[in-house]
Structure 1
Amino acid sequence: MSKAVVARAIGGPEVLSYEDHDPGRPGPGEILVRQSAAGLNFIDVYFRTGLYKSETVPFVLGKEGAGTVAEVGEGVSRFKPGDRVAYSAGKGTYAELVLVPAEQAAALPDAIDFETAAAAMLKGMTAEYLLRRTFPVGPETTLLFHAAAGGVGLIAGQWAKHLGATVIGTAGSTEKCELALANGYDHVINYRDDDFVERVKEITGGRKCDVVYDSVGKDTFLKSLDCLKPRGMCVAFGQSSGKVPDFDLGILNQKGSLFVTRPSLFGYTLDRREFEESSGALFDVIASGAVKIRIDQRYPLEQAAEAHRHLESRATTGATIFTIA
Structure 2
Amino acid sequence: MNKAQVIHQLGAPDVMTWQDWPLDDPAPGEVRLRHTAVGVNYADTYHRGGISHPWPVPAPPVIIGFEGVGIVEGVGDGVTDFAAGDRVAYGIPPLGSYAEARNYPADKLLHLPANLDDKQVAALLMKGMTAHYLLYRTYAVKPGDVILVHAAAGGMGLILCQWARALGAITVGTVSTPEKAEVARAAGCDYPVVRSEQSFVDEVMRVTDGEGCAVVYEAIGKDTLQQSLDSLRPMGVCAAYGHVSGPPDPIDVIQDLGRRGSLFITRPAIMHYVAKRSDLEWAARDLFAAIGDGTLDANINYEYALKDAVKAHQAIESGTTLGATVLIP
Match of 1:35 in 2: 35
The Cα shift of 1:269 comes to: 0.4
Structure-2 separation of matches of 1:44 and 1:89: 12
Q: Which amino acid aligns with 1:293?
A: A
Question: What secondary structure, in the 3-state scheme, does the structure 1 residue paired with 2:148 have?
Answer: strand
Structure-1 separation of matches of 2:23 and 2:5: 12
Match of 2:249 in 1: 245
Match of 1:18 in 2: 18
Q: Does 1:89 align with 2:92?
A: yes
Structure-2 separation of matches of 1:266 and 1:215: 17
Question: What secondary structure, in the 3-state scheme, does the structure 2 residue paired with 1:99 have?
Answer: strand
Structure-1 separation of matches of 2:129 and 2:303: 21
1:301 is aligned, of 282, 285, 306, to 306
The Cα shift of 1:283 comes to: 0.2
Q: Which amino acid aligns with 2:74?
A: E
More divergent stretch after superposition (202-211 vs 263-272): 202-211
Question: What secondary structure, in the 3-state scheme, does the structure 1 residue paired with 2:38 have?
Answer: strand
**TM-score of the two chains, using structure 1 as the length reference:** 0.97
Match of 1:219 in 2: 223
Q: Which amino acid aligns with 2:206?
A: E
The Cα shift of 1:176 comes to: 0.8
Structure-1 separation of matches of 2:206 and 2:298: 31
Structure-1 separation of matches of 2:220 and 2:101: 32
Identical aligned pairs, as a percentage?
42
Match of 1:203 in 2: 207
Match of 2:104 in 1: 100
Q: Deviations over 1:103-122 (max 9, x none)?
A: 11110001111101110110
Q: Which amino acid aligns with 2:233?
A: K
Q: Does 1:314 align with 2:319?
A: yes
Q: Deviations over 1:10-29 (max 9, x none)?
A: 11112110111122211111
Structure-1 separation of matches of 2:33 and 2:202: 49
Equivalent residues in 2 for 1:53-202, closer than 5 Å: 53-90=56-93, 91-202=95-206
CA contact under 8 A between 2:92 and 2:270: conserved in structure 1?
no
1:255 is aligned, of 255, 260, 268, to 260
The Cα shift of 1:253 comes to: 1.1
**Please, which runs of 5 or more residues in structure 1 have no aligned partner?**
none
Structure-2 separation of matches of 1:240 and 1:121: 20
Tell me the number of residue pairs that the alignment of Structure 1 and Structure 2 aligns. Answer: 324
**TM-score of the two chains, using structure 2 as the length reference:** 0.96
The Cα shift of 1:207 comes to: 2.0
CA contact under 8 A between 2:152 and 2:174: conserved in structure 1?
yes
Match of 2:283 in 1: 278
Backbone CA RMSD of aligned residues? 1.1
